[in-house]
Every structure is written in C-alpha cells, then in structure tokens.
Structure 1
C-alpha cells in the first residue's frame, strides 16, 4: 500500500470502537511519503502488525499527530522492518504476546534518519489474555535500533521469561542522535 502527498484525518466518531489502528498490516509493504496523519482520540496505534514476516514500513517526510500511546503495535511471531526518514511521530513500540507456543519471538529493525519518535514508554511489551505461561518458555525480542541525526524519547520495558530472565537482544546505534530517558534508566 502506498500513501503519497496526502493529509489523512480520523476523529473518534469516524472509527468503530473495534478498530485499534490506522493501518493493519498482515504482509507486504507500506510506504507513506510527504503526508500528514491526524488521528486524535480515534485509535490506539498508528500501525498494527498482527502476524507475518518480512513486513516493511517505509515512512518519509511525514508527520503523525496523535495522543495515542503507540506508534507501532506488533504481535509475537513477526519480523518487521521500519524506516523513518525526515519524519516525526508520537507513540512507542508495543509488543503483545499470545503465550501459547514454547518459543515466541518477534524481530524489529528500526532505522531513523533525521526523525523524531517519542513516548513516555518507547518500547513496551505485554501479555495477551489469558496470562498463562504454561507452555511458553522463551520470550525473545530481537530489536535493532539505528538512529542517525534523530531524537528518541522514552524508556524501555520488555518481558522476562518464566525464570525471570530477559531473552532479548537489543542493539542500539546512535549516530549524532539523542535518546532522552526522561530521568529513568532503561529496564532491559
């Protein structure tokens, strides 16, 4: 799907209560260029990836205005590549786990160039109902973050496995960039 040179607005009255995201992505690519997304009070996140692998989201010269808490919502079992170029969004990255498989994993490659991404909690993961870890032994989040001439704001909160350990790989590269932790140390 491509969106170019557009202004897209959603108000709370425009969307059914069941809709959680501006765009749900199951497979393929999403490209947004030279656009503005206004989703005040309308949804929980800009983008939602519910399953699938090799999903690419490329956003250039775009501003996302919202009071939502989430920029990208990823369900476990996904491989997602996100690139923000000359763009600005509020909201963090959220992962949700079904906790039914022995090993659950999601992979995120996030590259920011001349961009801003801010939220109180920049990376957050939660468990979907029922909160059962009876079969899930490994919760693995592979997050690769590269920021060039960009600004990040927010803390990270990832999930521990059943033994209380983190199985995550979190690689961060900041090139002439800032990451404001809002006075908190990251919880990785």
Structure 2
C-alpha cells in the first residue's frame, strides 16, 4: 500500500541511480567493518588533512552532476501532488491564457499541472517531457527552475556525501 504510493513517480531512468546509491551504501558498510577490524588490530591509519578550500572545490566538482539530479527530483516532487482545486486556482492565478504553451492545448478541469517558481503553469506531462530533455528552465520565460545559490548548496551537499561514502576514515 504505502510503498506503491511512494514509487508511482519512479521512472525506469532512475533505477540505475538507485542501484548506484545501494552500491555506495554497501561499500560504506563494508568499509566501516574493515576499518573497525583494522582498528581492533591496532593498525594505525594514515591521516592527511585536506585544506578547507580544496575540500570545497572537491565537493563542488564531485557533486556538480549529481546535484542537478537531486534538484530535479526535488522540483518534480514539489510540483507533483496537486489536487483538482489547486489545479484550477493555479491555472486561474498564474496564467491569463488557458493554453499550455508546450503542447498548445487548452487546460481542462482535472488536468494535472505543474506550477513553476516563476508562476507559469504547464501540463504535468508537457513539463516532464521538457525536463526529460534536460532543460532546467521555464519553457516560457527561460528563468531558472532553481537559484544559483540552491545549486551551489546542493553541489556541496551531494559532493560531501559522495566523498564521505568513498573516503577512508
């Protein structure tokens, strides 16, 4: 019941990412046991200190590609669950035109729509196809879906998580 409801948006394209996540988690698990075993034997490890500036650059470089996927996932999740009432209000408030500029068809009651931060509204399937082309901006005004600050923050967060998974502690 609950699992099916949570996975209704998972496309087949995200399965390799989930597989990579599980492999990284398994690697981290095995690494922890190996390090605990070495520590119990009294084997000291080599510790190197990386300057904070170098860590920032490393985290940003590692997380740059993955951060876009994380942000895209957040954007899709934030816009997916709109009720019919929300759809009608979003269409009325955000658009003087009742036509989707991507597919050029009229909005109908009960259509699933996505409202972007710039307040433009599109059919859910139309905007998903736009994102599938890796276009991370509004189809109408070309404004970015996410601010540069959010992208930089996501790059650092994802980069630090990936580096911590594969680093020797």
TM bucket, shorter chain: under 0.3
* Larger strand fraction of residues: 1
Higher relative contact order (CA 8 A, sep 6+): 2
Compare CA radii of gyration and give the structure with the larger one: 2
* Larger helix fraction of residues: 2
When the two structures are superposed, what TM-score results if normalisation uses the length of structure 1?
Answer: 0.19
When the two structures are superposed, what TM-score results if normalisation uses the length of structure 2?
Answer: 0.20
